Amino acid sequence: MTPKEILFDLDGTLTDSGEGIINCAVLALEHFGLPVPSREEMRVFVGPPLHETFVRFGVPSEKAEEAVAVYRSRYIPIGKYENTPYPGIRELLEALKAQGHLLYVATSKPEQMSVDILEHFDLAKYFTRICGASMDTSRSSKDAVIAYLLAQSGTAGKKIMVGDTKYDILGAAAHGIPAIGVSWGYGNVSEMEAAGASAIAHSPEQLLTLLNSL
Catalytic residue among 9, 16, 164, 168, which? 9
Domain that holds residue 34: 18-81
Question: pLDDT at residue 81 above 90?
Answer: yes
Whether residues 118 and 154 share a domain: the answer is yes
Label residue 48 by pLDDT band (50, 70, 90): confident
| pLDDT tens column, 104-148 | 999 999 999 999 999 999 999 999 999 999 888 788 899 999 999
Q: Would you put residue 195 in left (φ > 0), alpha (ψ -120 to 50) or beta?
A: alpha
Query: Considering the entire predicted model, what is its pTM?
Result: 0.89
Question: pLDDT at residue 154 above 80?
Answer: no
Whether residues 59 and 100 share a domain: the answer is no
Domain end position, chosen among 28, 59, 81 = 81
Question: pLDDT at residue 19 above 80?
Answer: yes
Domain total of the chain: 2
Per-residue pLDDT, averaged over 154-168, amounts to: 89
DSSP string, 118-162: HHHTT-GGG-SEEEEE-SSSTT-SHHHHHHHHHHHH---S-EEEE
Whether residues 70 and 168 share a domain: the answer is no
What pLDDT sits at residue 150? 93
Whether residues 44 and 88 share a domain: the answer is no
Whether residues 37 and 99 share a domain: the answer is no
CATH of the domain at 39: 1.10.150.240
Q: Is 9 a catalytic residue?
A: yes
Q: What is the sign of the dihedral through the CA atoms of 120, 123, 127 and 132?
A: negative
Which residues on adjacent β-strands are paired with residue 91?
none
Question: pLDDT at residue 8 above 90?
Answer: yes
Q: Look at 39-48, 90-99, 169-178 and tell me which has the smallest mean pLDDT.
A: 39-48
Whether residues 123 and 181 share a domain: the answer is yes
Whether residues 138 and 116 share a domain: the answer is yes
